[in-house]
Amino acid sequence: MTQPRVTLNDGRCIPQLGFGVWKLTDETAPALVGVALEAGYRSIDTAAAYGNEAGVGRAIAASGLAREDLFVTTKLWNDSHGYDAALRAFDASLGRLGLDEVDLYLVHWPVPRQDATVETWKALMRLREEGRARSIGVSNFTAAQLARLIDETGSTPSVNQIELHPGFQQSALRAFHAETGIVTEAWSPLGQGGALGHPVIAAIAAKHGRSPAQVVLRWHLDLGHVAIPKSATPDRIRENADVFGFHLDADDHARIAGLDAPDGRIGPDPETFG
């Protein structure tokens, strides 16, 4: 699989397609991450909250791949905001992964109720300086939350990982990312499977002789997003990696743009969650 990459604002590169492992366990992750690595994925998206960092680490160790050929993301959970707590949480994640550094460390949610993102972010800045988190970013931040973080620390996250799929396209937030040089990473890129049954997606899939999942992932890649689809089914893991041999045309893009719905959010609202 060719591996297109997106350049981050710190000069490093992230593979445009990654394998998401939410809901895999320490028991199921080793085999399924192994399938993904064999299929050509080189980026794995885990989190402290997923409870599978150890399983992901075992898969990486068993793969025989060189560490520099892999891009590993993990995330700081909501119970670990604050400077010291964030440093401790990072050490714990590294220990579970069995790695000396991660490629990307994200603040998983802004948790406005705690109002601790600035101190948390300063800890991530230190981890980047130390080289233990090669790049740092956030997840589920609104434009206002990003603007505040940038204003108060002078440091712009490399990535904002957000809910993003044809039924919830987040155009305003993506425009803010483009203005500020933040890479958009799409979580639930397939709408947790919900986007795949739509007749518009089915028609475009039939036109290109591709599956609905491949069409939705191609849409993300064409728009420059990083996408991290998840599957626990080996054939689907492989299918989702096979998205580099075709492109959508302007008509396809216009039709998918028409699927956007302001109330299409599946996951929690970042203004209130946590």
Residue number, 30 or 189, with CB nearest to ligand NAD: 189
Burial of 256 by CB count in 10 Å (0-12 exposed, 13-18 middle, 19+ buried)?
buried
* Binding-site string for ligand NAD from residue 27 to residue 66, where x marks contact by CB under 6 A and - marks none: ------------------x---------------------
Q: 57 and 97 in contact (C-beta within 8 Å)?
A: yes
Active site residue ranges: 50
- 21 scored as a contact of ligand NAD (CB under 6 A): yes
**What sign does the CA torsion over 178, 180, 181, 182 have?**
negative
- 196 scored as a contact of ligand NAD (CB under 6 A): yes
Taking CB under 6 A as the criterion, which residues in 133-152 touch ligand NAD? 139-140
Instruction: Tell me what percent of the chain is helix, strand and coil, each rounded to the nearest 5.
Output: 45, 15, 40
Grouping H, G, I as helix, E, B as strand and the rest as coil, residue 219 is helix
Among the listed residues 74, 161, 170, 184, the single contact to ligand NAD using CB under 6 A: 161
- 183 scored as a contact of ligand NAD (CB under 6 A): no
Beta carbons within 10 angstroms of residue 239's beta carbon: 18
- 157 scored as a contact of ligand NAD (CB under 6 A): no
Q: Which positions touch ligand NAD (CB under 6 A)?
A: 20-22, 45, 108, 139-140, 161, 187-193, 196, 211, 213, 228-231, 236, 239-240, 267
